[in-house]
Structure 1
């Protein structure tokens, strides 16, 4: 019996298989349908990544982004031509900004129609070039594997991972081929930074009175986190996390080394500690996480950068030296060179004072404005009591994200997911869904506002269909975009504009999707309702009325930001 005819779609899927991409999110369409046929109906002897069909292409990217952040492997998305591809823009932008490797495949009109005003003809590679690491269109079916392989390498990105986009015209998808897929191509691995620079940094640490480590998103992978733990177990140094660096310190290291997180507003313990430091060592820090003009506003800090990518120099971020290379290898080399260093007693006293401030900041200091409302810190405290270290917590964007980023404790890297590069609304539920797929033995939690939740709430039906164990906490402030509201009120003498939207009954909405809906009717019910939510199999949504009347205090020491 002759071999079955192979097509462009087969070559693309074979390339995905060779690169260990085993999960693909997307929505089909006529211009890319053969690829979906191959994914969902492989012939005897063929294998294909698992296909997860979603309700919106933007959510497909969000799910792929969380998959990538958690696993370190590229997340994969497929969308059809025209508006399908257009809906990828927000997610691709977010993934590139936040260092998450994504491979997006977009359908396209046949090559003969590329430059005509044809139904769904779109210059998609030009649209995505500024916001991806790689953007190319396949013009020859024999080059499918070549272009996709290059896209995967670019997404993994030596210096900085991000999104890659490949446009696949319909006639390329349908083209008969006899070319074989290229085997996996592994990106070159960097070694440690210059040994001369490592020796120099060790001398600077030994001479410093209060060296502080600022750990960012590129310092939160498993290898780098392990190296950080080994260094801190030998030599005690204070650590400040960016929001996306959350979880780099273990429970065992928290007491001696954790001094909070910084991001958005310059009024945290970590901000003041950096200002007191005579040597700030950034580890995998990306300025998009929290601009240097905030934490180095006076432009007087001594900064040394450990990273995989050269720094973007600006008026507030000009490191004395940059130690570029594999961060974990660099820290291993540094570890042996600073044995015996101890913080001076005066610095230990300073750190003890800051530690007490951190502890006190976790306790509510006002009474909610109405009896049915829950203080943000009480919600976090109850959530903390229900979350184990193997669970994933994904926070959406809104006022709740500021409270969560500052006060929710996480002790395992990439188990507390935050969008602080783009602050993209709607990521919470899709990220939790991806976490539930990748980590099926543990609950996945999303924390959203009632505004952000509905940006992606249609995927609740997808979560129900897939039987995912997700718990979605919705901080309900009665239909306001509060993160904008409180900043506008601070800026415009108590006035706000464009922040109200129509309310929706969260419990009824959730039930209409087939999920369980719960509501906290009064603060004394909070723990019991969360007990029920975490004991339930399948998707659960919890409506939590929240008191945001003191949110202006979140930004009390700075001018409002966007």
Structure 2
């Protein structure tokens, strides 16, 4: 049956399991929206309030499913508004398929409205892995397939297709392609036994081995393999902020916390004190090697791709392919063991230090909450409700939560280690709620970062999503403020922001909201939020006086 180019694209998306398309309407997007309307029982169109947020929502789908989230925009400013979200997805390693409607080919690169060279803008490796202006209707299914695979191959990231209006409207006899089974086979390779045996021998010789988990290992299959490996070897574990949740509570005895960002946590000290580092799916943007390898440590790298190599990161052995399968092969042949008493003693010291750092101070403010009080309240509600997806926006609140809040499931702790972009929190929460409708989504933002995407409360209300949005209020861009004070002799500039009544703002969207200025009120608000499947906003007044210590330097020394 004859169809137009837009129909062909939508048919291909549906045949490959795409359930949601995020979009903000525009004239050049019309053919695609009409094609989606014909198939509305098979694919849902999510209408948002800003294209950047639509891109973040697609990134959230990519993060949670390991398959590209799909965003569509109109030409000109609509597509240009995707730049930040696509750069964030590529940096963080999340697959996204972005499609823009464009002016007709006869008007390309002429003085015509909404007609910048979008493919040219997007064709930068730091923004996308693939960007192309499509030239023919009959090739559209092929182009979607190639863009799709580019987004998930190696280190995942964003891809972009710019499609002129006449290409979308022209008729074609071509059928949509189904390639999902082939995509499921990607990255399933395993290393030969000789390499696995070599790794086992090197681990046996090490005195102070450590496991460093990164974002590309954040899957259920890898979590199972890691747990089996740790059970057999008892090697201690640290994780990047973006790779949290791969160990269950029973492995707390092996866990030393998180690493990265300011390089001043007990986990960072553990890596410093090690002599062999087993990296699992480490995206170096999460934890750049020069921060932890200045003494030529032995590195064994399990990964799906070869990451950036430099003088601080040249793995002695590269175990390339499926992380879970390769690690399981290692577990099968490695000897059951325990770590040395010396290394056990060091780990115990660092675990005690981690517990002390997350303890609530004896004296706190009466009219605002210490960040560790907030973390404690959140930990309590998560322990009681483990099927919660935690989503964090950028800012100092993210450092507190990223350093000390624990979850025990893969892909249930979302944050940006790459671009560290402000505004990702609420959009990611929206896509999480769509993927996991039976889970509570706990979204956290500061009063600075939240306002980047606050308009999407309208989207939350419209779709009645099961989201609790926390807003940490301190009336400053505090993450920047305390670093200015440290770098410029106590001076700060341009970081103060006015207070907005966030409770009233949320209520104006038709969303229940409460304000918490002490821990008792916060605990009560969280209990109320979890008793309902309705969205809720909790405005938290934060005492940020201790945030400056988030960047305290640690005197790295051998323990």
Cα distance in structure 1, aligned partners of 2:339 and 2:309: 30
Would you say the 8 A contact 2:86–2:96 is kept in 1? yes
Would you say the 8 A contact 2:473–2:539 is kept in 1? yes
After superposition, what is the alpha-carbon deviation per residue over 1:32-59, rounded to whole angstroms, capped at 9, x for unaligned?
A: 20110121243xxx86421100001111
Aligned length: 548
Residue 196 of structure 1 and its aligned partner are, at CA, apart by 2.1
Distance 1:54 1:497, change over 3 A: same
Would you say the 8 A contact 2:57–2:427 is kept in 1? yes
What SS does structure 2 have at the residue aligned with 1:119?
coil
Would you say the 8 A contact 2:369–2:517 is kept in 1? no
Would you say the 8 A contact 1:217–1:244 is kept in 2? yes
Cα distance in structure 2, aligned partners of 1:193 and 1:494: 53
> Which residue of 1 is the match for residue 73 of structure 2?
79
After superposition, what is the alpha-carbon deviation per residue over 1:470-492, rounded to whole angstroms, capped at 9, x for unaligned?
A: 00111100x21000000100111
Q: Does 1:403 align with 2:400?
A: yes
Q: Does 1:233 align with 2:231?
A: yes
Q: Does 1:68 align with 2:65?
A: no
Would you say the 8 A contact 2:77–2:114 is kept in 1? yes
> Which residue of 2 is the match for residue 500 of structure 1?
496
Distance 1:366 1:552, change over 3 A: farther
Cα distance in structure 2, aligned partners of 1:146 and 1:173: 14
Would you say the 8 A contact 2:7–2:35 is kept in 1? yes
> Which residue of 2 is the match for residue 212 of structure 1?
210
Q: Does 1:350 align with 2:339?
A: no
Q: How does 1:126-525 map to 2 (within 5 A)?
A: 126-130=120-124, 131-157=127-153, 159-184=154-179, 186-187=182-183, 188-255=186-253, 257-296=254-293, 298-365=294-361, 367-368=363-364, 370-387=365-382, 388-477=385-474, 479-525=475-521
Residue 254 of structure 1 and its aligned partner are, at CA, apart by 2.0
What SS does structure 2 have at the residue aligned with 1:247?
coil
Q: Which range moves more in the overlay, 410-419 or 494-503?
A: 494-503
After superposition, what is the alpha-carbon deviation per residue over 1:440-472, rounded to whole angstroms, capped at 9, x for unaligned?
A: 111101011001111001000111110101001
Cα distance in structure 2, aligned partners of 1:317 and 1:473: 38
Q: Which range moves more in the overlay, 192-201 or 79-88?
A: 192-201
> Which residue of 2 is the match for residue 532 of structure 1?
528
What SS does structure 2 have at the residue aligned with 1:429?
helix
> Which residue of 2 is the match for residue 38 of structure 1?
35
Residue 134 of structure 1 and its aligned partner are, at CA, apart by 1.2
In structure 2, stretches of 5+ residues that fail to align are: none
Would you say the 8 A contact 2:389–2:412 is kept in 1? yes
Q: Does 1:49 align with 2:31?
A: no
After superposition, what is the alpha-carbon deviation per residue over 1:82-131, rounded to whole angstroms, capped at 9, x for unaligned?
A: 00000111110011111111111011110111121211112111111212
> Which residue of 1 is the match for residue 95 of structure 2?
101
Cα distance in structure 2, aligned partners of 1:153 and 1:415: 25
Would you say the 8 A contact 1:260–1:358 is kept in 2? yes
Select the residue among 20, 25, 37 that pairs with 1:23: 20
What SS does structure 1 have at the residue aligned with 2:373?
helix
Q: Does 1:14 align with 2:19?
A: no
Residue 366 of structure 1 and its aligned partner are, at CA, apart by 6.0
Cα distance in structure 2, aligned partners of 1:322 and 1:284: 11
Residue 284 of structure 1 and its aligned partner are, at CA, apart by 0.3
In structure 1, stretches of 5+ residues that fail to align are: none
Would you say the 8 A contact 1:399–1:482 is kept in 2? yes
Residue 133 of structure 1 and its aligned partner are, at CA, apart by 1.4
After superposition, what is the alpha-carbon deviation per residue over 1:379-417, rounded to whole angstroms, capped at 9, x for unaligned?
A: 011111112221101011000000001100011011010
Cα distance in structure 2, aligned partners of 1:115 and 1:326: 44
Cα distance in structure 2, aligned partners of 1:269 and 1:202: 27
Q: Does 1:110 align with 2:101?
A: no
Residue 195 of structure 1 and its aligned partner are, at CA, apart by 2.6
Would you say the 8 A contact 1:372–1:523 is kept in 2? no
Cα distance in structure 2, aligned partners of 1:129 and 1:452: 28
What SS does structure 1 have at the residue aligned with 2:368?
coil
Q: Which range moves more in the overlay, 30-39 or 312-321?
A: 312-321
Residue 321 of structure 1 and its aligned partner are, at CA, apart by 2.1
Moved over 4 A (4+): none
Would you say the 8 A contact 1:275–1:301 is kept in 2? no
What SS does structure 2 have at the residue aligned with 1:94?
helix
Would you say the 8 A contact 1:307–1:325 is kept in 2? yes
* TM-score, normalised by the number of residues in structure 2: 0.95
Residue 503 of structure 1 and its aligned partner are, at CA, apart by 2.1
Cα distance in structure 2, aligned partners of 1:529 and 1:13: 42
